Amino acid sequence: MKPEMKNIDEVVKRHMPSASRGDMESDIGHVFHQLQLRDLGADYAAEEHVLTPPAGANFRWRIGMVAAAAAVLLAVFIGTVVWRQSPSFGVVENEDGSLYRVVEGKAQAIQQGTTLAVGETVRSNGSAGGTLSLADGSRVEMRSQSEFTVERANDGIRIRLIRGSIIVNAAKQFAGHLYVQTKDVIVSVVGTVFLVNAEEEGSRVAVIEGEVRVQQGTTTRNLLPGEQVATNPKMESLAVKEEIAWSRNADVHVALLQQSTISIADTSQKPEERLAFEVVSIRSSRPPAGGGGRGGGGEPCTGGGPKIDPRRFAVTNATLYNLITTAYNLGGNNGGTATRCANARALGTLSGGPDWNSARFDIEGVIPEGLADYTVRTVGGVSVYEPGPKLQKMLQAMLAERFNLVMRRDIKEMPVYALTVAKNGPKLTPWKEGDPVNFGGYSEGGPSRDRTQLVSIITGNKAPIAQLAGRLEIVTQRPVLDRSGILGEFTFRLEFAPPPAFTGFPSLFPGIPVMTSPSVFKALEEQLGLKLEAATAPVEVLAIERVEKPSEN
């Protein structure tokens, strides 16, 4: 039967889809969360979202959050991709029957093929040690009577050498670093072969191939092949090839050492291989159009993410801190550039800086042909550019040359939280094929699922625990170390009371009260079976030692 079409108005009004108020409020609330959660760096998990540090009475959108996915992914790469693909830290490649894992203080023998988890301690008690393959492709050869543990660092992997010697053949790190830390020295690399020795009286680092950065207290030094450094001058000094003589692969290492020394000399004669933009243009950002006089305003962590093509890197309205965040890949897996920048400053892992720290710059760099390492992801119809390590190096060089920036890496003993398993065990839902794949994130406030309260949420989809730890840093404003020992990827949603400063959104969600409990600490225990324990721990921090406002061109 055909409808009566004489009165088109009546037909249209009757049949035009019209959202019910309840559906609309629910869906808008969902979008609201999503926009905050968009830090999510990428469709595979979350593109950028954006964590909003509990900074003020109103929730704030984090501009650049989308863009930040770039940096997010870098952090995620080290911290996540590598570990996601192989959530254990490594596998025993070969051993002489005397390798042990230390569980609750007791040594358990391990054999070839044994998989070791992040946080486990490995000990070699025999006469020949053993070799382990790490998840990222790095290999660690242990001397006898040595002991180390592997943990996640903010931007990579950290081998904590408790005693003895190891030779590390570090796989190329896609972003961030592999660290070896002893009680008095930190070695950071991006792909190289080197030895670290930890003794009572001090530590020694020797390089076989590549370049490593060695930090002892406030002193940092780069070592090239054949060079070595000891933290205690009383330590016996041996040539590098003698230091590595105990290795099963000593011959290979010595050959590599000789080859590397030559190749470094050759490389130094090829300036075109230095990672730097060909041309850099720096200008102060234009004042905002119609910006209501907010102009130079004091937000030191702001600016959109970069736009990159094979020959061009461009960023607009970026502050010095934001540039440093991108160049040094700060802030871990915590959202967009601005968010990670703000978080690094709040945590104290990025400190110092000039009084013009809210000045904004438009920067364009011409990338040498063939050296643009970046990825582009489309998130919600928006392109998110992620610079790779080469581009980061170029940015670092630009900051050093044009801003005369000098950074100092330190280790500070800081208050942290350790993320551990609660007494009744974890309540985590493993991610499975077909479940949503996105980063999730942290939203300071928005409707709960049943729309009865405004809550803070942390979500994760296909997320390792390290990602949850990253989100918790934003909420607690302290570094959160993953000490859960839990491997794998999970789907979770944690709902908890927003920070006291959060007052809700009366105009958007009228009449919906703000949740007052549980706290994030209690919610974590009740909902996910995890807990945060206060502790102190050495944390790597970056300090701006010197910087100057660049001249424009």
Partner 1 sequence: VQATVPSASGEALAQELDQIFREHAPLMYRTAFSVTGSRQDAEDVLQTIFLRLLQREVPLEFRTSPKAYLYRASVNLALDIVRSRKRRNFSHDVELLEAPARAIEDDQIQRCLLDAFARLRPKAVEILILHYEHNYSDAEIAKMLGKSRGTIAVTLYRARGRLKRLMLRAISSTGEKQ
Footprint of partner 1 (CB under 8 A): 1-3, 5, 8-9, 11-13, 15-19, 23-24, 27-28, 30-32, 34-35, 38, 58-67, 285-286, 288-292, 294-295, 297, 299, 302-304, 316-317, 338, 360, 379-382, 505, 507-508
Return the number of the residue (2 or 106) whose C-beta is nearest partner 1.
2
Residues in the chain: 553
Residue pair 419/480 in contact by the 8 Å Cβ criterion: yes
Place of tokens 């102190």: 536
Return the number of the residue (27 or 309) whose C-beta is nearest partner 1.
27
Please tell me the distance from the alpha carbon of residue 471 to that of residue 339, in angstroms, as a whole number: 11
Return the number of the residue (338 or 542) whose C-beta is nearest partner 1.
338
Return the number of the residue (294 or 427) whose C-beta is nearest partner 1.
294
* DSSP-assigned letter for residue 485: -
CB of 400 to partner 1, least distance (A): 25
Please tell me the distance from the alpha carbon of residue 235 to that of residue 243, in angstroms, as a whole number: 12
CB of 62 to partner 1, least distance (A): 7
Return the number of the residue (258 or 285) whose C-beta is nearest partner 1.
285
HEC readout, 240-303:
HHHHCCCCCCHHHHHHHHHHHHHHHHHHCCCHHHCCCCCEEEEEECCCCCCCCCCCCCCCCCCC
CB of 66 to partner 1, least distance (A): 5
CB of 367 to partner 1, least distance (A): 22
Contacts of 45 (CB under 8 A, 6+ apart): 76, 437, 438, 439, 440, 461, 462, 463
CB of 18 to partner 1, least distance (A): 6
CB of 281 to partner 1, least distance (A): 16
Please tell me the distance from the alpha carbon of residue 471 to that of residue 460, in angstroms, as a whole number: 10
Q: Which residues of 270-305 are buried (b: 16+ CB within 10 A; e: fewer)?
A: eeeeebbbeebebeebeeeeeeeeeeeeebbbbbbb
Residue pair 233/202 in contact by the 8 Å Cβ criterion: no
Return the number of the residue (30 or 248) whose C-beta is nearest partner 1.
30
Please tell me the distance from the alpha carbon of residue 293 to that of residue 298, in angstroms, as a whole number: 12
Return the number of the residue (210 or 303) whose C-beta is nearest partner 1.
303
CB of 441 to partner 1, least distance (A): 14
CB of 70 to partner 1, least distance (A): 12
Return the number of the residue (61 or 273) whose C-beta is nearest partner 1.
61
Return the number of the residue (12 or 423) whose C-beta is nearest partner 1.
12
What are the structure tokens assigned to 183, written together?
């009680």
Q: Is the peptide bond before 518 cis (omega within 30 degrees of 0)?
A: yes
Please tell me the distance from the alpha carbon of residue 407 to that of residue 121, in angstroms, as a whole number: 33
Find the angle CA(76)-CA(325)-CA(316) to the nearest 5 degrees.
110
260 Ramachandran zone, left/alpha/beta (phi>0; psi -120 to 50): alpha
CB of 318 to partner 1, least distance (A): 9
